[in-house]
Amino acid sequence: MSHLQIAKTLKHVRAFLPGALSLNLHQAETNIVKTRLDQLFDHAVLGGKNTRSRLLVDSYSKLKPSASVQEMDNVSQVAVTIEMLQAFLLIVDDIMDDSKLRRGKECWYRVPGIGMNAINDGLLLDCSIDLVIRDAIPTHPNLHQIIAAIYEAKRKTTIGQLLDGQTAGGGNISWARYKQLVEHKTSHYTFYCPLQMAMLMGDVVGGLREIKTIAYDLGYLFQAKDDYLDCFVDEGLTGKTSTDIAEGKCSWIGCSTLDKLKGEPKLKKVFEECYGKNDSKSVDICRTLIGDLKIDNQFHEFEKMMVKKLSNDIDNFSVNELKPILHDCLEQIVKPKGVDLAKEKRKIAANM
């Protein structure tokens, strides 16, 4: 249900923004803005999974089950600003990475006639966020905190992107760096921000400190699981190209491997020299070491420990209405859709 709500609201915001951004323009210039925004929304904003915005809407509906249709529309309008932020971040990320495709289409900057103007288009989305929120909830008692929450998420994600870009290769990764990367690139933006905004929208602020701890742990497990899938699960099932080893990512797998190689200086040196080299021989050497060290088994033990801790923390969370949402988040991390993990475990065992 929330997916349909978000899709409908994105179309509403797509229609609202040209007028809001063109108040001081003549008709010809207004038409230019509208044409560009329509193209931008259709290509780069619509069509995503809307995971974060759906988490916000679903959380609010649990907090306020008797909310009116108008209240839910207002919450959805606030929620889609996260999708606008996501589109902005992806546009810039694709340029930085020289990416070709996004969601099965040409990256926005590669569309004929767009080029580096894509940077300004991303800024157009970013500077529209507060307009959309103020239009939806102009008199909400937590208006300024809600706007501050999404901009805090942007700041933290930008710092995470900076750290990620400066961290590559076996000699540059560590658990300390990994934890900071996950907090800034994943945990805060993907889990805490939607939950925080839902609670602020519902004026339920008593459990914000608790939810932050739970959200950050969910994000940590989510990222670790993503790192595991990148290394051990077939690309055809995940829908993503396995690149962490070749790119020398500061990942859960990389950190765990270096940890286990502390007592093996020669092998550690080999791993550090090969990790981050984009050639099949180096990647194969790293994969062999990772397999020999049984890093997959270590991950499964870590996952069990985290699931137990998170389950306990969620059960003891003071805001009872959000417990089902949080347990569902945990379930989706442990058992990602479209991936038969039992089958993959058997395949890994056969190849080791």
Cβ atoms of residues 195 and 55 within 8 Å: yes
Would the pLDDT of 238 be above 50? no
* Side-chain-facing half-sphere of 75: CA atoms under 13 Å: 32
pLDDT digits (tens, 9 = 90+) for 261-297: 999 999 999 999 999 998 999 999 999 999 999 999 9
What's the chain's average pLDDT?
A: 92
Beta bridge partners of 105: 102
Q: Read off the pLDDT of each residue in 96-110 and give the average, rounded to a whole number.
A: 90
The pLDDT score that the predictor gives to residue 167 is 81
Residue carrying the six token digits 């919450």: 75
Q: Read off the pLDDT of each residue in 109-122 and give the average, rounded to a whole number.
A: 97
Domain 1-139 falls under CATH 1.10.4030.10: no
* Side-chain-facing half-sphere of 96: CA atoms under 13 Å: 12
Domains 1-139 and 140-352 in one fold: yes
Domain map (residue ranges) of the chain: 1-139, 140-352
- CATH code for residues 140-352: 1.10.600.10
E-assigned strand segments in 116-239: none
- For residue 18, the SS3 value is helix
pLDDT digits (tens, 9 = 90+) for 157-179: 999 999 988 887 767 789 999 99
pLDDT band at 219 (very low <50, low <70, confident <90, very high): very high
Q: Read off the pLDDT of each residue in 34-55 and give the average, rounded to a whole number.
A: 95
Distance CA 175, CA 161 (A): 17
Would the pLDDT of 303 be above 70? yes
pLDDT digits (tens, 9 = 90+) for 137-152: 999 999 999 999 999 9
* Residue 130 burial (CB count, 10 A): 16
Q: E strand or H helix at 10, and its extent?
A: helix 2-21
The three state secondary structure string of 37-72 is HHHHHHHHHCCCCCHHHHHHHHHHHHHCCCCCHHHH
Would the pLDDT of 348 be above 60? no
The pLDDT score that the predictor gives to residue 9 is 97
E-assigned strand segments in the chain: 101-102, 105-106
User: What are the structure tokens assigned to 110, written together?
Assistant: 């590669």
* Side-chain-facing half-sphere of 60: CA atoms under 13 Å: 27
Distance CA 114, CA 29 (A): 18
Distance CA 325, CA 35 (A): 39
